[in-house]
Amino acid sequence: MSTSRAKQLKSEITAMPTWLRRPIGRASELSKVQQIVKQRQIHTICEEGRCPNRGECYAQKTATFLLMGPTCTRSCAFCQVDKGHAPMPLDPQEPQKVAEAVQLLELRYVVLTSVARDDLSDGGAGWFVKTMEAIRQFNPDTQIEVLTPDFYGEYQPIAAIAKAKPACYNHNIETVRRLTGKVRRGAKYDRSLRVLQIVKEIDPAIPTKSGLMLGHGETGEEVIETMADLRRVGCDRLTIGQYMRPSLEHLPVQKYWTPAEFEELGAIARQMGFSHVRSAPLVRSSYHAAEEA
C-alpha cells in the first residue's frame, strides 16, 4: 500500500466514532482458538473477517467456522474474505477437523458458515450436512447454527441443510433492496428472501434468522421496509450492525449510525414480531447467538 493510501485508511480509522472502538479481548482466549484452528488448517469467519467481538465470543464458548476454504467465488464489495481467484479443492478431512476443534474448545454452540462455492454442483450444501454430522458424532450436546450462502435460491441445497435440523438457519440479506446490486455483487434481494421462505416451508419449527449491515447509504424507511419483508417470509431473528470498511478497496462508509438509532430500530423490529433482536453498532451475525437457543 502506498504511503498516501495508508494515511487515508489511518485517517478513516481515526475518524471512527468512539462507540466503534473496543478492546479485542483476552489474548489467552484468542491464542487458544487460533492455535487449534491453525494446527488443523481450518478457518473461522471470526478471524478471516476480523470480527471485533471474537475475543468475547471465544470466552463464551462460541465460534463461527468458515467451511470450504477461505476463498469466495463472489466479490461482494463490503466483505473482508479473500476473493478474486480460484478456490481451493475441498479438504476431505475438514468436517472431522472442525468436529475435533469443537471438542477441544468445549464449544456449546457452533455456527457453521462458508464462502460462496458456486463452482460446486450443490453450492456446498452437502458439506454443511457432513460437517453437522461429524460435530454431532463427537459433540452430541453442541447446538449448531448455520449461516449459508443463497445457493442461487435453489430448493434442493437449502432443503438438504434444513432437513439436517440446525438449531437455527441464518441467511443474511445484508442491505436494503435499492443497494443490493452495489453491495452484494452476485446476490439478489428477493432470492435471499426465498432462502428463508424455503426453510420455513420445509420445517416451520426451525428458527430462521437474517442480518442487516448499516452504513451504505440506506434510509431508516428502507431498513424498516426490509425488516417487514423478512417478517413476511417468517424470519424469526434479526441482527443489525454497523458496516466498517475493511480496506480502501472496499466500499466507503456513507454513515455511522448512532447507538440510539440502533436501539430505535431494534425496538421497531421487536414490535414487528421478531422473537430475538440484536441491534447495536458492533453486532455481527453470530453475536450472542447461543443466547437465542
Q: How many domains does one find in the chain?
A: 1
Three-point CA angle 2, 3, 9, nearest 5°: 90
Q: Within a domain: residue 12?
A: no
CATH number of the domain encompassing residue 261:
3.20.20.70
Averaged over 41-58, what is the pLDDT? 65
Element containing residue 211 per DSSP (H, E): strand 208-214
Lowest mean pLDDT across 151-160, 234-243, 247-256 = 247-256
Averaged over 150-174, what is the pLDDT? 97
Decide: helix, strand or coil at residue 94: helix
Using alpha carbons, select from 267, 182, 186, 181 the residue that is nearest to residue 227: 267
pLDDT in tens, 2-30: 566 555 555 555 578 988 876 555 555 56
Parent domain of 33: 23-292
pTM (2 decimals)? 0.87
CB–CB of 83/98 below 8 Å?
no
Quickly list DSSP for 113-171: EE---TTSTTTTHHHHHHHHHHHHHH-TT-EEEEE---GGG-HHHHHHHHHT--SEEE-
Q: Within a domain: residue 211?
A: yes
Q: Within a domain: residue 8?
A: no
Using alpha carbons, select from 77, 62, 151 the residue that is nearest to residue 110: 62
**pLDDT value for 288:** 61
Query: What distance lies between CA 226 and its chain's CA centroid?
Result: 18
pLDDT in tens, 131-149: 999 999 999 999 999 999 9
- Name 134's Cβ contacts closer than 8 Å, sequence gap at least 6: 95, 96, 98, 99
Element containing residue 230 per DSSP (H, E): helix 220-232
Q: Within a domain: residue 266?
A: yes
> According to the per-residue pLDDT averaged within each range, which of 22-26, 37-41, 159-163, 287-291 is highest?
159-163
| Pair type for strands 62-67 and 43-44 | antiparallel
Q: Within a domain: residue 9?
A: no
**pLDDT value for 21:** 72
